[in-house]
Amino acid sequence: MTRTFSIRKRTEVYRRSAMSGHEAGCPICAGTSTESLAVPRRLDLVRCRACGHRYLRVGAPSQVEVIYNDHYAGFRDDPVFERVAARLVATELVARVPPPARLLDVGCGNGAFLSLARNAGYVGVGIDISDAAGELCRRQGLDTRIGDLRSTSVIGSDERFALITFWDVVEHLPDPASFLTRAYDLLVPGGIVIVKTPRTSTASVAVSARIPRVAGALLQTPSHIQFFREDDLRSLLRRAGFSSVDFLPLGSMRSVATGGSLRRRLARRVLRTYQRLAGDGNLLAIARRD
């Protein structure tokens, strides 16, 4: 995995963008009335008064996206992800969208899912805004585009896919609705989109609001800026045009670190226990275009 921006650098980017005066409204319902919850690491954590979605209020998307440049190539260098994704391909995707269907992986990172899809017989295309990610994929012979999904110069307006995947992408986006709307337009009739994102409990948001120094561990701020519940993600997909939205059960997809001092190992154990009791975990939505 290529190196990432430091927490301090990412925080500074978000802080500057939040001060820019840009206000786009709630990413779920576009409402503009919000309740301030806290300021973890100087970031503006709010709740939409209309729909209840929790998110970090940040600046213009173009300012925020600077942190996902050549220094970022995703989290995909992860054997846990590869095992879970391989099981999903074998048990769900092949039945719903049989190969050799055309597939688009948004935020393809190091190409782990594209490789799995290719091995299963799919014709895969990846897209990422990181040049480093694109280079990693091309070394494996994977078809990869560099740029913004919403740009027709990257994914042509005449291109169509039977399956589009977002693996841990939407929680990073200031405007996820525009990406999912674009995905809807790129799907063939009957095509499906798969969205995997963390499920963030009300308890974790409340604890982070009261104790900002734990927000990084519980909410993964500042790189995560959307904190979804199931209803939030369902509403977001429906706003993008999808009428049929299902959720599949999915456990943790994070590798469990084992090294470090006794203090660090105990802290990780406490955190995992808390997250399990609080109801944090993962959401996996499958939505179909009519």
Indicate the pLDDT class of residue 24, thresholds 50, 70 and 90: confident
In a domain, 109, yes or no: yes
CA–CA separation, 57 and 272 (whole Å): 27
With residues binned 3-state (H G I as helix, E B as strand, rest as coil), the percentages for the chain, rounded to 5, are: 40, 20, 40
Would you state the pLDDT for residue 69?
Answer: 52
Would you state the pLDDT for residue 278?
Answer: 60
Would you state the pLDDT for residue 70?
Answer: 46
What is the number of domains present in the chain? 1
Would you state the pLDDT for residue 13?
Answer: 47
In a domain, 49, yes or no: no
In a domain, 216, yes or no: yes
Residue 224: which domain range? 69-288
Would you state the pLDDT for residue 249?
Answer: 83
Would you state the pLDDT for residue 85?
Answer: 84
Cβ partners under 8 Å of residue 261, min gap 6: none
- Average pLDDT, stretch 89-118? 94
Model pLDDT for residues 127-147, shown as the tens digit of each residue: 999 998 999 999 999 999 999
Q: Work out the angle between the directed axes of helices 112-120 and 79-88 (0-180°, nearest 10).
A: 30
- CATH code for the domain of 104: 3.40.50.150
Would you state the pLDDT for residue 140?
Answer: 96
pLDDT for 264 beyond 90:
no
